[in-house]
Amino acid sequence: MAPAFVLHHHRKPRPHFDLRLEEDGVLRSWAVPRGLPDSPSDNRLAIAVPDHDLDHLTYEDVDKSIADIGTWEEHDRTDRRMLFTLHGRAGRRRYALIRTGEGWLLHLTKEQPPDDTRR
């Protein structure tokens, strides 16, 4: 079974998103203040935050909702970059998390997986 991901939308203390990827029995997590990039030219800051328990996959409350959920697959990983595809509600999107010194950038790749909604 493919590992899960969730994108949480937090409304407090200030609006931001959390990207959580299931790995090794936990959810590896990054705060993404401006949400996932929509264009390969629009990189987004991603701040690594502590891992979360798997029960956060479906957790929602008055200040936190699920913006997207599904599975993810890793394509390549080094110490400085991870290339992966999110298989979410609206389709598939390929991203790279790129380490920049102390932080990370989230990048939408130019090459995207084929649209699996076409028959």
Among 81-85, 89-93, 96-100, whose mean pLDDT is lowest? Answer: 89-93
Residue 95 falls inside a structural domain:
yes
Q: Residue 102 has what pLDDT?
A: 81
Specify the number of domains making up the chain.
1
* DSSP E strand stretches across the chain: 4-10, 16-23, 26-32, 44-52, 64-77, 81-88, 91-100, 103-108
Q: What pLDDT was estimated at residue 1?
A: 86
Whether residue 67 lies inside any domain: the answer is yes
Q: Tell me: pLDDT of 38 over 80.
A: yes
Global confidence as pTM = 0.92
Kindly state the percentage of the chain with pLDDT values over 90.
Answer: 87
Range(s) of the domain holding residue 45? 4-108
Mean pLDDT of 26-42: 95
